[in-house]
Chains A and B, each alone.
Chain A
C-alpha cells in the first residue's frame, strides 16, 4: 500500500492533513502536500482513504 501525492497539480489546500495528520504534512516552503509515511500501517488507512476522497485536486493516491 503506497501513498503518493502528485505535486504538479496540488493546490496546498491541506485537506489531506486534516484527514490524516499522521500521514500528511504541508511543506513550510510552499504549503504543498507532503507524504510523511508512504507505507502507512493498517490503522491509518481509513484516514488516507478519506484524504484521497477529500483532496480537491484529486492528486492523493493509495495504491492497494
Chain B
C-alpha cells in the first residue's frame, strides 16, 4: 500500500471570526486523519466526542509535550517544556504531586465564597466603563482587567504588577513567541514573586495560593515560581478571551441573548452551553498527546511514539447532545470538553466559571442595550496567539 501524502493542518483564514479555520471541518469529516503542523511535526487529529475523551484520559497517551506539533513557523518551543513545576506535561504520580495540593484553592465552596469579591471587581469596572461613556472597548475595560485582578488576588500578588503578567502571558502564548523574550519576562516576574514569597514565608499565611504553596506544600522554589507564573498567565488570558467570545456570540444571536436577559439566574447553565458551543465552533486542532504504546482510537491504530491532537469540534458531536451544532441556552448542562478532560482537565475551571457567570449576568443586566459598535466580522482578532480572541470589542449602549 502506498502512503498518501499528509495534508497540512488548516489553521488560518477563518471564514468567520467565530468559526473554524477554512478547510478544517472538511479535512476531519472522514474520521482520524494524519496532518502536518507548520513546525514540521505530524499528528493524528481525533474529532469524535468519545475519541477525544479517550485520548485525554487513557494513560497510554502521555502529556509530555517536548517536540509537540505547533503552529509556529519559526523559533523554538516556549510552552510545554519539561521544566520543574510544569504539571501540564507530567504523567501519573509526578502530575498528582503538583496538582493535588492546589485543589483546595479551587474547591467549589471556596470559589463560592469568592463570588461577592468577584462581583465587586466586575461592578467597579462596569462603573468605570459607564462613567467614561460610549463607545467603549470591552476588552481593555472589562475582559482583560477583571480576570487579571481576580487571579492576582487568588494568588496573593499585589495588583500593581498586572501589566507585567499580562505581558508575560503574551510571550507565553504567542504562536511564534521567542524563548528568549519569554525568559526575559519570566525573569522579571520571578523578581516580583520572590519578594511575595518572602512575605508569605514571614507571615505563614495559607489564605492565598502562593501562601499555600510556600507554607503548606513540599514544592521547591523553582517549581513554585513556575506554577505561580503559569497560573497568573493561564488565569487571565483564557478567561478574558472567552468572555469576549461569549459576548460576540450572543451579539450575533439575539434570540439566545434574550434567554439570558429573561433568566440571568440561569447564568451557570448558560455559561456551560456557551463554552460547549463557542469552543466547538472555533474548532481547529488543539491539545496534543503522545502515544507511549499502540492504541486504537476511532478505528485507527496510533503507534507508540506518534502524536495525536484533539479538536474541540467534538463539542458539536451529536453523540454529546441533540442538535449539537446549535447554540441552545435552554439546554441542560452537558459534559462538554471546553476545559479538557482527564487528569489534566483545567485546574481553574471553577474559577473561570464563576467569573464568566458573574461577568455575563452583570453586563447584560446593567446594560441591556449593549451592542457592537462595528460588525463582528470587521473586528480585529488575535490570530498570532494560541489563546484566540478579539483584540478589541467596540461597544455602545
In the complex, which residues of chain A have a beta carbon less than 8 angstroms from the beta carbon of B343?
A: 9, 11, 56-57
Q: Which of B65-73, B96-104, B115-123, B374-382 contacts A (4 or more CB under 8 A)?
A: B96-104
- Measured CB to CB, the closest approach of chain B to A14, in angstroms, equals 4
In the complex, which residues of chain B have a beta carbon less than 8 angstroms from the beta carbon of A58?
A: 57
**A56 pairs with B103, CB closer than 8 A:** no
Against A, the Cβ 8 Å flags (1 = close, 0 = not) of B256-283 are 0000000000000000000000000000
The answer, among A12, A29, A53, for a CB contact under 8 Å with B335, is: A53
**B104 pairs with A13, CB closer than 8 A:** no
**B57 pairs with A13, CB closer than 8 A:** no
In the complex, which residues of chain B have a beta carbon less than 8 angstroms from the beta carbon of A61?
A: none
**A17 pairs with B108, CB closer than 8 A:** yes
In the complex, which residues of chain A have a beta carbon less than 8 angstroms from the beta carbon of B103?
A: 11-13, 26, 30-32
Say if the beta carbon of B106 comes within 8 Å of chain A: yes
Bound-state CA distance A9–B148 (Å) is 31
In the complex, which residues of chain A have a beta carbon less than 8 angstroms from the beta carbon of B342?
A: 56-57
Against B, the Cβ 8 Å flags (1 = close, 0 = not) of A7-47 are 00101111001100000011011111000000000000000
Say if the beta carbon of A54 comes within 8 Å of chain B: yes
**B57 pairs with A12, CB closer than 8 A:** no
- Measured CB to CB, the closest approach of chain A to B150, in angstroms, equals 18
In the complex, which residues of chain A have a beta carbon less than 8 angstroms from the beta carbon of B109?
A: 17, 25-26
* Number of chain A residues close to chain B: CB under 8 A: 20
Bound-state CA distance A53–B336 (Å) is 10
The answer, among B108, B335, B345, B350, for a CB contact under 8 Å with A11, is: B345
In the complex, which residues of chain A have a beta carbon less than 8 angstroms from the beta carbon of B349?
A: 13
Say if the beta carbon of B341 comes within 8 Å of chain A: yes
In the complex, which residues of chain A have a beta carbon less than 8 angstroms from the beta carbon of B345?
A: 11, 13, 56
Bound-state CA distance A28–B105 (Å) is 10
Say if the beta carbon of B107 comes within 8 Å of chain A: yes
In the complex, which residues of chain B have a beta carbon less than 8 angstroms from the beta carbon of A18?
A: 108, 350
CB-nearest residue of chain A to B99: A11
**In the complex with contacts A54-B335, A56-B57, A12-B107 CB distance below 8 A:** yes
**A-B CB contact pairs (8 Å), 13 listed:** A9-B96, A11-B96, A11-B99, A12-B106, A13-B349, A13-B350, A14-B108, A17-B109, A18-B350, A26-B109, A30-B100, A31-B104, A50-B335
Question: Which residues of A does B touch, CB under 8 Å?
Answer: 9, 11-14, 17-18, 25-26, 28-32, 50, 53-54, 56-58
Question: Which residues of B does A touch, CB under 8 Å?
Answer: 57, 96, 99-101, 103-109, 335, 340-343, 345, 349-350
